[in-house]
Amino acid sequence: MATVSVLLTLYLPGMQSLKEKRAVVRSLVARFRSRLDLTAAEVGDQDRLQHAQVGFAVVSGDLGTARRLADEARRFADAELLGRAEVVATEVAETVIEG
């Protein structure tokens, strides 16, 4: 079994309120769930107006597939956030458990 955990750090220029920021972040998280069948959450920078951190994880039978799905999700995030936010950093952690 292999897991790939990803932490995306977002920059959201032009946000005027936390409510506006959270709408963008919630939309991304919901689209991860509905379009890619991934569980995701806002996991950091909740009280910073123009920054957010969103995390998600992929589990698969092999590391190659998990990496491919995580890369697909990262590209999906870029497309979904276009014009509203920018992914400024990506942290990736991989784990392989031999059974």
pLDDT tens-digit series, residues 64-89? 999 999 999 999 999 999 989 999 99
Q: Which amino acid is at 9?
A: T
Q: What is the pLDDT of residue 95?
A: 94
- DSSP of 8-25: EEEE-TT--SHHHHHHHH
- The closest alpha carbon to 12, from 53, 61, 57, belongs to 53
The domain locations on the chain are: 2-96
Identify the three-state secondary structure at position 62: coil
Return the CATH number of 2-96, one of 3.30.1950.10, 3.40.50.300, 3.30.70.1120, 3.40.1160.10: 3.30.70.1120
**46 token code pair:** 């909740």
- For residue 73, give the 3-state DSSP assignment: helix
Cα dihedral across residues 97, 61, 79, 55: positive or negative:
negative
The pLDDT tens digits of the residues spanning 8-62 come to: 999 999 899 999 999 999 999 999 999 988 889 999 888 889 999 999 999 999 9
Q: What pLDDT is recorded for position 45?
A: 84
